[in-house]
Structure 1
Amino acid sequence: MSSLKQVDVSKLTESDIEMLAARLEKDDYTDAFEGLNDWHLLRAIAFQRPELVEPYLYLLDLEAFDES
């Protein structure tokens, strides 16, 4: 998998998501931008194909905010 702009989310498999999540969990990137790119990719997948990301939602740390 490469950058977000080059990934067709509709073609990703459970195995692809598993590898992405493993990289995020390991957090062993050469620079902060690589990790951020993976995080943004996982987030994009969560919006487009939430069933694939469900086991890894904890990596996104998404919370509902009440701004009232």
Structure 2
Amino acid sequence: MTTLTLSRQDISRMTAQDVANLAGRLEQDDYINPFEALQDWHILRAIAFQREELAEPYLYLLDIEAYDEA
């Protein structure tokens, strides 16, 4: 399976279909090694911070929990 390496500008140009493809790879979890999965996970995480509207349907893949720092 092929993973992506993206810059901040690349993320700004991503479409909903691009993010769906990325999430699909993460859901299938069919990677040659765990580092490829981790790379895709970090890309999805970056998308969630920069373009939340695209990553919102796939936030369950990130397993991010809200917490109170107080």
Cα deviation, residue 66, structure 1: 3.2
Structure 1: which 5+ residue stretches go unaligned? none
Return the TM-score normalized by structure 2. Answer: 0.86
Runs of 4+ in 1 over 3 A off after TM superposition: 4-7
Tell me what 1:18 maps to. Answer: 20
User: Residue 28 of structure 1: SS of its match in structure 2?
Assistant: coil
How far apart in 1 are the matches of 2:20 and 2:33? 21
Query: What is residue 51 of structure 1 aligned with on the other side?
Result: 53
How big is each residue's C-alpha offset from its partner over 1:24-63, in whole Å with a ceiling of 9 and x where there is no partner?
0000000000000000000000000000001000000000
Give the TM-score normalised by structure 1: 0.89
Amino acid at match of 1:62: I
- Where does structure 2 lack aligned partners over 5 or more consecutive residues? none
Displacement of 1:67 in angstroms is 4.6
The percentage of counterpart residues that share the same residue type is 60
Match of 1:29 among 28, 31, 36: 31
Post-superposition offset of 1:5: 4.3
